[in-house]
Amino acid sequence: MQAISIPTVYSWYNRWREAGIEGLATKPRSGRPLKTGEEYWQALEETLEKDPHELGYDFSIWTLERLRLHLEKVTGISLSMIRLHILLKRQGYRYRRPKYDLGHLQDKEAKAKAAALVEELKKSPPETLSSSSLWTKRR
Mean pLDDT taken over the chain: 85
Higher confidence at residue 126 or residue 74? 74
Q: Tell me the angle at which helices 64-75 and 81-90 cross, rounded to the nearest 10 degrees.
A: 90
Asked if 76 and 90 touch (Cβ cutoff 8 Å), the reply is no
- pLDDT, tens only, 65-78: 999 999 999 999 99
Contacts of 48 (CB under 8 A, 6+ apart): 62, 67, 93
* Residue 56 Ramachandran class (φ > 0 left, ψ -120 to 50 alpha, else beta): left
What pLDDT, on a 0 to 100 scale, did the predictor assign at position 125?
73
What pLDDT, on a 0 to 100 scale, did the predictor assign at position 82?
93
Higher confidence at residue 134 or residue 48? 48
Domain ranges of the chain: 38-90
Residue 123: pLDDT band (50, 70, 90) is confident
* Residue 51 Ramachandran class (φ > 0 left, ψ -120 to 50 alpha, else beta): beta
pTM check: above 0.75: no
What pLDDT, on a 0 to 100 scale, did the predictor assign at position 127?
66
What pLDDT, on a 0 to 100 scale, did the predictor assign at position 133?
55
φ, ψ of residue 103 in degrees (nearest 5): -60, -35
What pLDDT, on a 0 to 100 scale, did the predictor assign at position 74?
94
Which range among 50-59, 79-88, 127-136 shows the weakest confidence by mean pLDDT? 127-136
Contacts of 136 (CB under 8 A, 6+ apart): 128, 129
Share of the chain above pLDDT 90, in %: 44
